Amino acid sequence: MSSMPETVTCLRVIVNRERQTFDIQWSDNHACSFPLDGLRRACPCAGCQGHEKMHELPDPEIFHLPALVRWENVKVEVAGSVGLRLTWDDGHNSGIFTWERLRAMCPCR
């Protein structure tokens, strides 16, 4: 996993329900825009990825697949200094997306 400089922090997170994107603005001016359905598929918990795979980055292809589900009620909480915990419409909230992981998964690359 590529690491990001310690000094880079997340400035804000926007769940755009209309566009179905999850947008992160970073302090180094980089912005990531994830499709919500792709991000749901990328949930890093053991239940979604399996124990062996949960520490690996997902295949970037998952962010380019057509969305199967519209997500209307995604809640975002800060999980300490680690990253973000997302609660999805289906109630699933076991995955913590670390800052490093979010940054490394950015679909712009």
Q: Return d(Cα 10, Cα 88) in angstroms, integer.
A: 21
If one asks whether residue 95 binds Zn ion (CB under 5 A), the answer comes out as: yes
CB of 1 to Zn ion, least distance (A): 15
| Binds Zn ion by CB under 5 A, chosen from 8, 10, 13, 48 | 48
Q: Tell me how long the chain is.
A: 109
Cβ neighbors of 82 (< 8 A, separation 6 or more) are: 96, 98, 99
Number of residues that bind Zn ion (CB under 5 A): 9
Q: Which helix (H) or strand (E) holds 26?
A: strand 21-26
Candidate segments 20-28, 48-56, 63-71, 78-86, binder of Zn ion by CB under 5 A: 48-56
Count of beta carbons in the 10 Å neighbourhood of residue 4: 17
Residue 84 contacts Zn ion per CB under 5 A: no
Does residue 91 bind Zn ion (CB under 5 A)? no
Query: Which spans of this chain sit near Zn ion (rule: CB under 5 A)?
Result: 32, 43, 45, 47-48, 94-95, 106, 108
